[in-house]
Structure 1
């Protein structure tokens, strides 16, 4: 009996046929970068809970890539999604760096900032010469950002900010923080240079997920800002929520990248692993696991590519992004966990990427909106009834 050459998970549904040549070139460039610069080191970064964030930021070349002007590349949304897919296939922490820099901090400046803000910060952030972070989540207000307690009060022409933020990616390394605060009963965004007196960003340690990522608290104690620090085009929750939708979109593509890396590892391992005198891949139970995971991965990527087309056409809606985030993270973490079983005891070591991805996806499952929040968003779209309270 002859055997056929294995088909890689991405090729099971001929997904490359759905991608244009320019977008594929960008994807392949990011994949090579990850192969050369990230994969050889990321297990050590994860184990040691460190990340050479400034070096990587300067080398990546994809920061704010989907934005236009001010030094940004202006690529398609699909190309940005595919870049996120490759980055997260290397590690969720690397994709988080890019998402927070480009889809949260830079998008906030690009969409809501003044012309001076854009000229000052976007070229620096796009090249990685400056690092940005995004301060919305608070210790007591995650899924309910409307309850945030950080305040911005007028003092003459200046603003005085007081409060704290929690779980802020890039926070301790940032040069500028986009901070959302309650000002005159409205939520407003402020650009806070991190060297400002009264601002501090203690790093959060002892994490068991996203260890190759900088995660911090932001503390603002009578931080005095000039009048022009406010983002003039953002008032109310629609400002920060629109930024979150940008980041959620990247996760729709990114999470299946982690799943793909796990599945490819599991397939290769199963083919090479002897058990009971034959390849582990030759057992029906193993093939059933691999087949089910490949089907879910293919469906997740078809969903991502569909949302990419909608975003490129300017027709994507928040509830559609919630569909993508809800499904693709849920399926990706299930794939990572199942792949761990294929590798058995070897699956818990950092010699393979599976347990690292499974642990990282625990964070991806809850940040930028928990599964429950996305279920309620989709439910509201289907019924017209908001059930958040």
Structure 2
């Protein structure tokens, strides 16, 4: 069952719907010079926004929803989450002129869209860059795709491209999990392809015990006490790093993240992720951060450092159909019977085949599993 609601021609409207979505807020920024009459249609699987004047719209969503940018007259957001209570959609109209509409991306009939499948091929993944290509099967000639990158909280970048054309995302963090979303603009009702991609990086784990009374609010990562403590801790550490390490932090080639605060005086667990090109070893990290901690005003009790096994932590980003070799420059390799669909970045996406005959790999007829 679905419900339909109309949106009046006022600059800002909030619409609450009660079927199919967990509580969250999705922001639709409609870049139009004049207001448009729109309709919101909701079903158990999606929220669809119909816009009468087909303006370009950029959409960013909170975690759990998917983000797209489209010039079509139908915009869809699909949720991974189980149907629950309410979803609120806020529509903000601005005076930003709409970009020129691309006439090469008309809406495709539902029957033509049914045969379209979308995947991606990774051409390059470094600590600060992802280069990929959209691979579409069953598409119409000249079809446009919107490719978006999210850090799990915010929509970072969005690009329009055709199949087989490269899309590049830059200024990324090392050893960080990003989400990529792809939708064919002429088939807005089709599922939005999404995949998680880890950037390259060498990671280290640190545990520091501080001789300080534990605050129960440290268990709540949303509390002001937790935020103030973690901000002060990172500031104390980074301000006492050597000049080269400070430059790495400032350039984004090294990042420091608090992973948890535990009781036992105050035990701070944090991670240090670095660009592999810097060739920093556990000994380097231990020496650098030990000196920074000792020069800080923190009342230290003890500290230690270990190198993270990215195969165990999942940060290697290997396919479920790949093996992972710990502490290797190329950790992921597809399993026997599977082929990598991204030869330049082995083992991230592996595809298997349905085969006829007794010998596996002989007379394979179609892709069967992908991941």
TM-score, length basis structure 1: 0.22
Higher relative contact order (CA 8 A, sep 6+): 1
Larger Rg: 2
Q: Which has the higher helix share?
A: 1
Instruction: Considering fraction of residues, name the structure with more strand.
Output: 2
Please, what TM-score do these two structures have when normalized by structure 2? 0.23
